[in-house]
Structure 1
Amino acid sequence: MADLNIRLSFVILITHINMALYSTCFWIQSGVMPYLSKRLGMDTVMFGYLQTTFAIIQLLGGPLFGRFGDLFGGRAALTLAYLSSGFTCLLMGLSTTVPLLFLSRLPSVFMHGMQAAQMVVTDLSSESERAGALGKLGLSYGVGMIVGSTTGGLLISRFGESSAAYVAAAGSVLNAIVVLKYIPAHTKPVTSTKENKPETAHSKSIFNVKEILRLLSIPTAAEILAIKTITGLPMGVFQSMFSIVAMDHFKLQAEHNGYLMAYIGVLQMVMQGLVVGWLTQWIKERMLLSWSILLICLVGLATAVMTNVVQFCLICIPMSLAISGFYLTTNSILTKIVPPTDTGAMLGLNMCVHSLIRSVSPTIGGFLFESYGFSSFGYMQFLINLLVFLYILGCRAN
């Protein structure tokens, strides 16, 4: 038993190392994107189309990737995600025209490193520890965000966008090699599921749409996903336009933008890895979900009235707490309402929500920023999340 626990702990440790390196590469290429697109002559609207293209491609791949992980195991899922990341970054570095930059988004259809890591951690954690275990992934992701944002800014400033993209591609390939050497082929428990959970179907097809949609019929699944979509839309709008806001509104250079993203990464690392996991031990997940939505609402109002980057840095503290609490509680709830054999597919549907938001938010964000200015993002977040919070209170009252 002790040897088994040591092996499981080692696998989880490697998964966290993978997550940190994946995040590093992701944030390097994220830093490359706005400056490369600007050098190629893209305006704000075209940049929004590029972000939308990326999100739609990931939207299409998310559910299939989840089914792939359920059927072929954690090692195959992680390897596929990291190789997709490497190919995406490589093509980005080779992009010398706008069409080539759009083409570089195609391999990202399976670039779901966080989803793959969540599959492995979900398989290896008990339900009582699920939220905390998923939160610790945020700790590793935050480390990568800090390193990637800072490194990306320095690489872009000193060596150019293409060199930074090649570094991210090399890191992604290294990640895939580590997975093949140290992650076991299958991490799901062999034991049967709980009686109060729906039976999993036995189809072995990755492209079986009925198997994916079947999960939506599970009680509370559709409701949680709908809440996640509505609440996440205003945040997605702001996040999709943040690189443009940093350049045009805050007037930050690439290196300073990297430092700001590193600061946000530290906050995310602390909130997801430490604070929210501790809160879930004392507060019920659904109660924490409600208060997270209310805090997101109030943060939106504060965002609408802020005027400089220093104020934004202060607002980022409650913002990180609210967003971390919201995403961790919803992720935990969704993985608990399905049997272990379907957690990958459910995480795939969960990732679809993120991709759907990212597919529409750049267009909405570009329109709002051009027509109504930066403050419109905050007012939108305030109004929508206030309605969601009132809906949840109404459901509890009934």
Structure 2
Amino acid sequence: MVGGPLFGYVIQKFGIRYALHLCYLSTMLSGLALFFSFDYYSLLFSRIPVVFMHGQQAHQTLLSALTQPGKEKTSAFGRMGLTFGIGFIFVPIFSIAATKIGGDLAPLLVSAALCVLPSVVLETCIERKSNEHDISVDESNGPAPQIYFTNVVRILQKPGVLNVMAKKNGGVIPFLMIIAVLNVVGYTLFTLVFFNFWMLLVIMPFVSLGMSVVATCSDSLLTALVEESEQGIVLGTATSLNSLVRTFSPLFAGSLLQNYGFQSLTLLGVFGSLLAIGLMIVSPVDENLIKKHKTE
């Protein structure tokens, strides 16, 4: 929750290449520190580097810098989402193999070692640009960042940003509350017909497709609505909002579940998704607000 916007500030201040290396290094250090943890306090210490372990945010920012707003950027975000999905499939296989060979803690060492690979790819396969280490903010892009919280508020107040945030989170916040991925059709099916386990086969395709499209298109729009130097911060703010919901959702969702039953959560999802759809109809994003790359 703290690291998302903070990592976005690092991107804005020092550039995406520096931030990516910081992300890889933090991931490696967190794995090594966890491997060598021996008591409660050393375990807590091992979580400190996680503040900068924001791979999805970092690579979305990189893709934003390499692609044009619109179809090209949205397609790139979608492909990155596909790679994350593939990772979720194969990572358990590698973890089991590492555990069989080196013991229960071996996956931590393997993950730390693998962090060297993306650093090499970044340095050898991604073209270096003049603004990657020092992203300056000129007068046309707004005032230079001073107090960080004020800077976040300034970005959120830009035309269209809160509009897209509301549409994205109308369906996402209920999803975070019930630790599942559900959309309009999906919530309704859960509410009305989910009384046998096999019905998940009917529900989940709607769920997965709906939320994948919402997340990909929303993040693409958010980066297109702000200046290039502000893309990391707006993505970090969106990530932190999700983390904030995850922090408090067990209490709120547990209370709803205990007092009103499972269907209260799915009905909340239906309401949130319908609210997002309503905003799309009543308050569409002005296409003239979408920023173009500085090189154009």
Q: Which amino acid aligns with 2:75?
A: G
Give 1:81 shift.
Answer: 1.2
Q: Which amino acid aligns with 2:164?
A: I
1:116 to 2:58 alignment: yes
Partner of 2:153: 213
Partner of 1:224: 164
Q: 1:94 to 1:296 in 2, by over 3 A?
A: same
Native 8 Å contact 2:183 2:269 kept in 1: yes
SS, match of residue 127 in structure 1 = coil
Return the match for 1:79 from 3, 17, 21.
21
Give 1:140 shift.
Answer: 1.8
Give 1:221 shift.
Answer: 0.9
SS, match of residue 159 in structure 2 = coil
Partner of 2:287: none
* Structure 1 CA distance for aligned equivalents of residues 253 and 113 of structure 2: 32
Q: Which amino acid aligns with 1:131?
A: T
Partner of 2:292: none
Partner of 1:169: 112
Q: 1:387 to 1:216 in 2, by over 3 A?
A: closer
* Structure 2 CA distance for aligned equivalents of residues 359 and 381 of structure 1: 18
Give 1:121 shift.
Answer: 0.9
Native 8 Å contact 2:187 2:269 kept in 1: yes
Give 1:308 shift.
Answer: 5.7
Give 1:80 shift.
Answer: 1.0
Return the match for 1:339 from 189, 214, 227.
227
Unaligned runs of 5+ in 2: 133-138, 285-296
Q: Which amino acid aligns with 1:138?
A: G
* Structure 2 CA distance for aligned equivalents of residues 169 and 362 of structure 1: 31
Give 1:330 shift.
Answer: 1.0
Q: Which amino acid aligns with 1:327?
A: A
* Structure 2 CA distance for aligned equivalents of residues 336 and 310 of structure 1: 41
Partner of 2:190: 303
Native 8 Å contact 1:92 1:165 kept in 2: yes
* Structure 1 CA distance for aligned equivalents of residues 196 and 123 of structure 2: 46
Partner of 1:255: none
Counting only pairs closer than 5 Å after superposition, residues 39-118 of structure 1 correspond to structure 2 as 59-95=1-37, 100-118=42-60
**Deviation digits for residues 286-340 of structure 1 (CA, Å, limit 9, x no counterpart):** xxxxxxxxx8122023234435654324422111110111111111211111222
* Structure 1 CA distance for aligned equivalents of residues 74 and 53 of structure 2: 23
Native 8 Å contact 1:232 1:357 kept in 2: no
Q: How does the TM-score come out when normalised to structure 2?
A: 0.77
Native 8 Å contact 1:74 1:184 kept in 2: no
Q: How does the TM-score come out when normalised to structure 1?
A: 0.60
Give 1:97 shift.
Answer: 5.2
| Stretch moving more, 335-344 or 385-394 | 385-394
SS, match of residue 212 in structure 1 = helix
Aligned residues: 276
More helix by share: 1
**Deviation digits for residues 211-232 of structure 1 (CA, Å, limit 9, x no counterpart):** 3321122112122223333421
Q: 1:217 to 1:395 in 2, by over 3 A?
A: closer
Partner of 2:67: 125
Partner of 1:203: 144
* Structure 1 CA distance for aligned equivalents of residues 257 and 40 of structure 2: 23
Give 1:135 shift.
Answer: 1.2
**Deviation digits for residues 190-238 of structure 1 (CA, Å, limit 9, x no counterpart):** xxxxxxxx93135266x63333321122112122223333421111123
> Please, what is the CA RMSD of the aligned residues?
3.3
Identity within the alignment, %: 29
| Stretch moving more, 213-222 or 343-352 | 343-352
* Structure 2 CA distance for aligned equivalents of residues 379 and 111 of structure 1: 34
* Structure 2 CA distance for aligned equivalents of residues 308 and 156 of structure 1: 36
Native 8 Å contact 1:74 1:186 kept in 2: no
Partner of 1:330: 218
Q: 1:119 to 1:158 in 2, by over 3 A?
A: same
* Structure 1 CA distance for aligned equivalents of residues 46 and 201 of structure 2: 33
Q: 1:204 to 1:372 in 2, by over 3 A?
A: closer
Partner of 1:139: 82
Native 8 Å contact 1:297 1:385 kept in 2: yes
Q: 1:210 to 1:325 in 2, by over 3 A?
A: same
Q: 1:315 to 1:339 in 2, by over 3 A?
A: same
SS, match of residue 199 in structure 1 = helix
Counting only pairs closer than 5 Å after superposition, residues 379-394 of structure 1 correspond to structure 2 as 379-394=267-282
SS, match of residue 218 in structure 1 = coil
| Stretch moving more, 327-336 or 360-369 | 360-369
Native 8 Å contact 2:61 2:231 kept in 1: yes
Native 8 Å contact 2:12 2:229 kept in 1: yes
Give 1:103 shift.
Answer: 4.2
Give 1:130 shift.
Answer: 1.6
